[in-house]
A and B are shown apart, each in its own frame.
Chain A
Amino acid sequence: MDLRLRATPPHATERAAVDAVLGPPESGWVGGVRRSESDGHVARGGHDMRTRRHLLLPALHAVQDRLGWISPEALNYICQRLDIPPAEAYGVVSFYALLSLSPQPPVVAHVCDDLACLTKGAGAICAELERTIGPAGTPSADSRVTWHRSPCLGLCEQAPAALILAAGDSPHTQTLSSIRAADVVTALRSDHAAETIPMILPQAGDTGLRLLRRVGVVDPTSLDSYRAHGGYTALRRALELGPSRVIREVTDSKLLGRGGAAFPMGRKWEAVAQAAIHPHYLICNADESEPGTFKDRILMEEDPFALLEAMTIAGFATDCQQGYLYIRGEYPHARERLAGAIAQAHARGFLGENVMGHGFRFDIELRRGAGAYICGEETALMNSIEGYRGEPRNKPPFPVQVGLFGKPTVINNVETLVNVLDIVLHGGLAFAAIGTPGSTGPKLFCVSGCVTRPGLYEVPFGVTLRELLALAGGVRDGGSLQAVLLGGAAGSFVTPDQLDTPLTFEGTRTIGASLGSGVVMVFDDTVDLKAIVLRIAAFFRDESCGQCVPCRVGTVRQQEQLQRLLTGHTLSTLPEELTLRADIGQVMRDASICGLVQTAASAIESALAKLQLLTPSRVS
């Protein structure tokens, strides 16, 4: 492969940003200074160099952070350094919402207009920003700032929320919660990052907490504080027990994955531990982008060492030496905490060549997403790490056989992993005794929307929706409940008559719902549910990777048709439109590559079935 590259060199700042990630270029062949004695004779490249393709996204982030966009020259230089065809690299950049291919002002506000924020006035905030700054995506009059509408930022308990990203020599970020439009404008115009948002933990002080026991208690920036609160005792125990015993405990615990698919963790670990092909890889899925979900963010921000410890145990049990922690790009604060924690763990021998002096080698690399919900799908995430477009892979083969870099891979969600600490410390059977026989252990629920105390709640499996809502103080201002969205945009609506459903995997199944990622979004009777349902349809259309037809076209057709159904301006008779509605839903569930579109009709169908949203048909 001969790359055809542009002659125009990158700007010095762009070059410096890229070199900071990739190191200085080795020779004139890859954009460095040409040394006449050697460069004329040998070209380094080929397979050797292409194994560095996984550095593409980090290099792109470096340029984006510094300049606020990725110029043709900068992209060209990255391609030269990593031996990537420019067309492919362009395909990658154009996949991500947080990377820009055209010049934009250095300071950008990403203002959430997704479900929870929509119930708290995000629409009016966006309208006001349109008046004061200009339409989303256009630079302000002085070209210094701009703003975009954003899908859920994972700050739903503090809705409405926004995230400010400022590019420059020292790029900074700022999270804004409970905003008014004026706050966004002020923050855009201020030079330094203000205080990050407060941490709200409604159950603070509750001694029965397991997953959240250290949240708000431990100093998340200090390894010593973590150890003083019982940190790294589980890893020590795991090292004593040995890999197969750890896996047995995990299997006995009957722990099901908390990332949405509810897959038994023990089975996954067992499969990778026994895989003959090496190396094995471990991935922690911290992409958390399901609208309404913020549990992993709070765990990572407030108890980052716990996740590192759990990942280290997972690596030990499944014979991995390298773990990747893939965190969504919209979580700068959690990323900073984790980076600090990794550095400390390294310095103190909890990561690295010889973990806790046990002769076990394990490292964790932090990888940052760049604005793509689909990259939470496990195989899309792997492609994203590898420097390809975040398109899901067809399965089989499954990641436990052919995963990251084509090797056997364990991938687990943040919350799933953190459960492992207690499983190792107290045994799998003790863990299985918590909750119900079909849903063991504690569970985090992300309660948002129209409740008195939105926030993250930990309860044992088996608590009913009614009990959880009571814990959150019930519907705000004594209002009356219209519906609850369970499981996020990929979940479904439940109605007030279903409040006694136990929040378990099996309990929700009996009412045709699912727990998904633990979203419980509450809508009182002041909320325009039509707008909510339309936002869900828009979300899937915006976030489809575009690979397969049932999703690429199906999400657009679903959105168009939903508009017709909700306004009553149908193209044919209502029964004909409803048949079409059912057909679209079925092909989405049946024929796609990945789970994104398999669940993209679920919330919408449940809303249409239960919530009387249809406007009588007026065929035009």
Chain B
Amino acid sequence: MTEASAVRFIELTIDGQSVRVPEGTTLLEACRGQGIATPTLCYLENLTPVNVCRVCVVELEGSRTLVPACSRRAETGMVVHTDSDRVRLSRRMVLEFLASSVDLSLAPAVGEYLRRYNAHPERLGPPAAGSERDFRPVGHHHQPDGTTAETVAQPVKVDNELYIRDYSRCILCYKCVEACGVDAQNTFAIAVAGRGFDARISTEFAVPLPESACVYCGNCIGVCPTGALMFSSEYELRQTGAWDEAKQAQTDTICPYCGVGCTLTLHVQDNQIVKVTSPLDHDVGHGHLCVKGRFGWQFVQNRTDPAKE
């Protein structure tokens, strides 16, 4: 911990209120400190800000463009507006762009944002049907006719027993890439490939996960905000219509495998563990786990009598 005397404070104005924050504070943290609700999609406390979704933008006096609250650090004398017409319009458009191109039905936070910013994605056109998106070359595209709005709809990737990747739900927030890379796992099994609207999360040459470097830590699932990455157990229950969060209990426990002692949150439905998460504010793993804690719980439910095997 830095000693209190060493911390320098910064004064700025947010929505007309004078605010004092420690040096290094982001505008998002400063806003949250003031109780100003700021939407975020690509930001997560335990990851480096990539500031790509732009839903958190705020107006900074003297700046030609709006600035991303999640990554911009507070500076003395800044005058910030978080709910001006410009801010509301950009947030609305970002949400309309996403909702018109991505299946957000499993991203509950976004539904709330869409209402708050009065977003009407349907004005961009009815969604176009999807297709395979893995091998699109960069460069020229067919001229659209404008009757539909292009989407990222594509087949679900089911290539291993532990989790599925449904990139029709992907908003390209880069969180999974960060979690798989330097921010947590250091495995680098996935990266962003392609360019523009064809940009996508991919393994090398889009090989199935079992042929990739993936070690199934599931940290990408843990950070995904849209349900694009999902436990197979959850996916299968959803397919049969049996998934029911109302019937689920969440129980915190300590992972039994090793001495690190990560906290596991077990999601249990009908006496079955259906998925495992870990709290972000946990000071050991910051929400990240390894394959054992994340997926190695079948033995708990192994109720067959060994003698009968």
A residues touching B (Cβ–Cβ < 8 Å)? 1-4, 72, 75, 85-91, 94-97, 100-102, 136-137, 148-151, 371-372, 389, 394, 534, 538, 541-550, 552-557, 559-564, 567, 569, 571-572, 576, 580, 583-584, 586-587, 589-593, 598, 620
Contact = CB atoms under 8 A, between A and B. Distances in A.
B300 to A, nearest CB: 30
A95 B150 CA distance: 21
For the complex of A and B, 6 pairs with smallest distance between CB atoms? A546-B199, A85-B188, A587-B93, A553-B97, A86-B204, A563-B146
A2 B141 CA distance: 37
B13 interface: no
A1 B54 contact: no
Interface of B: 51-55, 57, 65-66, 68, 71, 86, 89-90, 92-94, 97-98, 100-101, 123-125, 135, 137-141, 143-150, 171-172, 186-199, 202-205, 212-213
A516 to B, nearest CB: 16
Contacts of B196: 541-546, 552, 555-556
A295 to B, nearest CB: 24
A552 B194 CA distance: 12
Given A543-B196, A592-B65, 14 more contacts: A4-B189, A85-B188, A88-B191, A100-B137, A151-B139, A371-B139, A372-B138, A538-B141, A544-B197, A552-B172, A555-B196, A556-B144, A584-B93, A586-B90
B199 to A, nearest CB: 3
A556 B90 contact: no
B192 A389 contact: yes
Contact of A87 (B100, B146, B149, B188): B188
B149 A542 contact: no
Given A97-B138, A591-B66, A546 B195 contact: yes
A117 B202 CA distance: 36
Contacts of B213: 2-4, 85-87
Contact of B186 (A1, A148, A555): A1
Given A86-B204, A97-B138, A554-B93, A549 B193 contact: no
A549 B197 contact: no
Contacts of B198: 546
B79 to A, nearest CB: 17
A552 B172 CA distance: 10
A97 B141 CA distance: 13
Contacts of B149: 557, 560
Nearest to A556: B197
A94 B93 contact: no
Contact of A90 (B51, B89, B202): B202
Given A94-B194, A538-B141, A583-B89, A548 B52 contact: yes
Given A550-B54, A590-B66, A592-B65, A561 B141 contact: no
Given A541-B197, A583-B93, A72 B146 contact: no
15 contacts: A1-B188, A85-B188, A85-B191, A90-B202, A94-B138, A136-B140, A372-B138, A541-B196, A549-B53, A555-B196, A557-B149, A561-B124, A569-B147, A590-B86, A591-B65
Given A542-B139, A591-B90, A552 B197 contact: yes
B197 A546 contact: yes
Contact of B192 (A91, A149, A554, A590): A91
B204 A593 contact: no
Contacts of B148: 560
A542 B140 contact: yes
B202 A560 contact: no
Contacts of A545: 195-196, 199
A495 to B, nearest CB: 26
Contacts of A572: 123
Contacts of B172: 546, 552
Nearest to A564: B146
Nearest to B190: A87
A95 to B, nearest CB: 5
A95 B138 CA distance: 7
A593 B93 contact: no
A542 B141 CA distance: 7
Contacts of A371: 138-139
B71 A550 contact: no
A552 B145 CA distance: 18
Contacts of B71: 394
Nearest to A4: B213
A504 B11 CA distance: 40
B93 A548 contact: no
B144 A560 contact: yes
A569 B187 CA distance: 49
Nearest to B192: A91
B167 to A, nearest CB: 14
Contacts of A562: 146
A431 B51 CA distance: 41
Contacts of B197: 541, 544, 546, 552-553, 555-556
Contact of B90 (A75, A102, A538, A590): A590
